[in-house]
Amino acid sequence: MQRKFMFIHQIDHQIDNGITEAILNTIDEGILLVSNEGIIKGCNRQALEIIKLSSDQVLGKSYKDEMWIATTEELMPISSEQFPIATSIKSGSPVKNFVMGLKVDKVSIWINVNTHILEIKNERFILASFYDISEPIRARRSLQMLTNQLIEKDKQLLIDQKFTNAFHYASIGIALVTDTGLFVDVNNSLCQMLGYSKEELLSLNFQSLTHPGDLEIDLDFVRKMLNNELDTYQMEKRYYHKNGSIIWVLLSVSMVRDPYSPMFISQIVNISEHKKLIDDLNSNNIILGRTSGELQRRVNQLSEFNQIVAHNLRGAAGNIISLLGLMKDSRDEQERMMYFPYLEQSSKALMDILNNLIKLLHVRLNNEPVNQEMLNINKSIDQCIYQLYQEIHSSKAMIRMDLQVLHVKYNKAYLDSIIYNLLSNAIKYAKRDTAPIILISTYKKDGACYLDVADNGMGIDLDRFGDQLYKANKNFHKTKNSHGFGLYILKNQLDAMNSEITVESALGKGTKFTVRL
C-alpha cells in the first residue's frame, strides 16, 4: 500500500512534501480531501487502511458513488445527500462527530466523521477526517440487545433459577437495589469493577458511590420510575472505586413494580476505556483543527508568494527580454553596447527581487518577524526605474523626484515591491496620447515618513470602485497586461508592516497614492 500522503501535489506543487507529510502523518484519523463538486482529490494512508481500499479505488471517485453504502446507528439507510461532506458543501459549515456505518466492497465498519472547510486559491475544498469506532459501537449494540432482553425478562428472571446464573456469572455488573438506594444483592463482576467485597457493597447505597456531578440526574430518573413516568432508563455516570479513582459506567435500570417492595435491577458496564478513547479522539480533533489552520495559513502564504513572484518578476524579466530584442534589432555596435549597462542592472535587479522574496517566504512560513533594515529610498527608486526601463522609454514617461527623506527602516523586498507597483501602475494607466508625468515624493509628517506617487493618468472612479481598490482580480480600466493583482499585493505587504495607504483620484485627472512607511 502506498505510504505517502496522496494529495500533497493537489494542494500546491510548491508546498514542501516533507513538511506536509510530517504534519499529516502525526494524525491517526483517515483524511479525505474533497472538491466542492464532490470529487475525492486526495487521501492519507490511514484513510485507505480504515476503509480497506487502495488509492486507485478512492481517488477521483465521487462521494455519491454507489460503492458508498451508509446507515445510521439504528441501521436506517443514509443517502449520499445526508453525508457530512454533502452537508458541508451545501452549507459551507463544518460537521462534527457524525456517526455512520459504512459498507464498502463487503467490508462493514462504523466511523466518526468530522469535516473542515479549506479555501485554496479561491477554491473551496472539504477536508473530511474520520476514525474507526466499530468496536465500541458493536459493543454498545450488543449491550443494548442484552439490556432489552433483560428488561423484557427481568420479572420472570426474578422467579426463575436461570436468573440466578445470569446474575452471578454475567460479565457485566448487576445489582438489585431497593427504592431507597440500598444494595440487596450484587454479582462478582460489580465487586471486581468497584473494588469492594460483596459484604462491603451490601452495607452501602448507590448514592454514596456516585459522583456528585451525576447524582441528581440519577435520583431524578429514580423518582420518575417510582411515579410510573418511566419504565426504564439508561445513563452514563461516574462511580468511585474503593481506591478513590473514578470509573465511568453505562447504567441501565429496570424496575420490578411490587407494591410492597419495589426493586430496581441495575446493569452496569465499565466504559472508562471507551470514554478515554473518546477524549483522546476529541483531543486529536483539536490538533487536526489546529493543523488544518496551519496548513491553510501556509497555503495562503504560498499562494501570496506565487502572486508576488508572478507580478514583480514579470516587469524585470520583461525588461530584459525587451532589451535583448533591441540589441538584436540594432545594427549599430555602439548603440548595442549602450544597452549593456541597462541589461546588467535589470539582471541584477531580477536576482535581488528573487533572493529577497525567497528570504521573505522563509520568514512568513516560519511565522518570524519581518526583517527590517535602513534602506536608501533613492536607490530603491533607481532600481525600479531600471526594471521599468522599456515601459518608461516606450511611454516617454517623465519621472520627477522630491525626496526630503532619503533613508527609511523597512523590509527591502516590500519597499521595492511597493515602489515598483505604484510606479508601474502610473505608467500602465496613463491617458492615451499623453506622456505620463510622475512625481515621487518623500517627507516627514507628525514623526512618520510618507511616500507619495502622483501621476496625470486616467484616474479612478472612487465612488464606484473605492471599496474594491485593493481586492484581487479587480481591474478598473481595460488596459493590456493588467492582471488586477498589483494593489492587492501592495495592500497585503503594507498590512504585514503595519503601514497605511490612502488615495486621491478622479477620472481623467490622475491619481496620488500616499503610503505611511
* pLDDT value at 272 more than 50: yes
Mean pLDDT of 431-451: 92
Q: What is the largest CA-CA distance in the chain?
A: 121
Long-range CB contacts for residues 53-57, cutoff 8 Å, separation at least 24: 53/104, 53/105, 54/1, 55/2, 55/6, 57/105
Break the chain down into helix, strand, coil percent, rounded to 5.
Answer: 45, 25, 25
Q: What local confidence, expressed as pLDDT, does residue 15 receive? A: 45
* pLDDT value at 325 more than 90: no
Share of the chain above pLDDT 70, in %: 79
Burial of 333 (0-12, 13-18, 19+ CB in 10 A): exposed
**Which pTM value belongs to this model?**
0.37
**Higher-scoring residue by pLDDT: 461, 152:** 461
Share of the chain above pLDDT 90, in %: 35
The answer to whether 66 and 86 are in contact (CB under 8 A) is no
3-state DSSP assignment of residue 455 = strand
Mean pLDDT of 459-475: 74
Burial of 493 (0-12, 13-18, 19+ CB in 10 A): buried
Give the single-character DSSP code of 39.
B
Q: What local confidence, expressed as pLDDT, does residue 441 receive? A: 95
- Segment 106-121, tens digit of pLDDT: 668 899 999 999 888 7
Q: What local confidence, expressed as pLDDT, does residue 129 receive? A: 92
**Higher-scoring residue by pLDDT: 258, 498:** 498
Q: What local confidence, expressed as pLDDT, does residue 18 receive? A: 59
Q: What local confidence, expressed as pLDDT, does residue 369 receive? A: 67
* pLDDT value at 416 more than 80: yes
The answer to whether 125 and 34 are in contact (CB under 8 A) is yes
- Segment 38-83, tens digit of pLDDT: 999 988 889 888 888 888 989 999 999 888 899 988 889 999 999 9
Closest by CA position to 349, among listed 376, 385, 377, 375: 385
What are the angstrom distances between the C-alpha of 511 and each of 245, 391, 405, 443? Answer: 73, 19, 22, 18
450: which residues sit within 8 A by CB, 6+ positions away? Answer: 442, 443, 444, 514, 515, 516, 517
What are the angstrom distances between the C-alpha of 324 and each of 155, 295, 317, 340? Answer: 99, 42, 11, 9
Cell of 50: 480504515
CB atoms within 10 A of CB 188: 14
Confidence tier at 306 by pLDDT (50, 70, 90):
low
- Segment 403-412, tens digit of pLDDT: 999 999 998 8
Mean pLDDT of the chain: 81
3-state DSSP assignment of residue 156 = helix
Q: What local confidence, expressed as pLDDT, does residue 237 receive? A: 93
Q: What local confidence, expressed as pLDDT, does residue 11 receive? A: 44
- Strand blocks (E) in 1-135: 30-35, 40-43, 69-71, 77-78, 98-104, 107-120, 123-132
What is the rounded CA–CA span in Å between residue 359 and residue 17?
A: 19
- Segment 177-233, tens digit of pLDDT: 988 899 989 999 999 999 999 999 999 999 999 999 999 999 999 999 999 999 899
**Higher-scoring residue by pLDDT: 28, 5:** 28
Residues 409-420: b if buried by 16+ CB within 10 A, e if exposed: ebbbbbbbbbbb
- What residue type is 220 in one-letter code? D
**Higher-scoring residue by pLDDT: 156, 350:** 350
Closest by CA position to 278, among listed 157, 99, 11: 99
* pLDDT value at 16 more than 60: no
What is the rounded CA–CA span in Å between residue 428 and residue 422?
A: 10
Rounded to 5 degrees, what are φ and ψ at 55?
Answer: -65, -30
* pLDDT value at 248 more than 90: yes
- Segment 364-397, tens digit of pLDDT: 555 656 778 999 999 999 888 877 877 888 889 9
Q: What local confidence, expressed as pLDDT, does residue 315 receive? A: 62
* pLDDT value at 2 more than 60: no
* pLDDT value at 414 more than 50: yes
Burial of 372 (0-12, 13-18, 19+ CB in 10 A): middle
Measured over the CA atoms of residue 74, residue 59, residue 22 and residue 12, the dihedral's sign is negative
Q: What local confidence, expressed as pLDDT, does residue 421 receive? A: 85
Strand partners, 313: none
Length of the chain in residues, anyone? Answer: 517
CA atoms within 13 A on the CB side of 182: 8
Give the single-character DSSP code of 368.
P
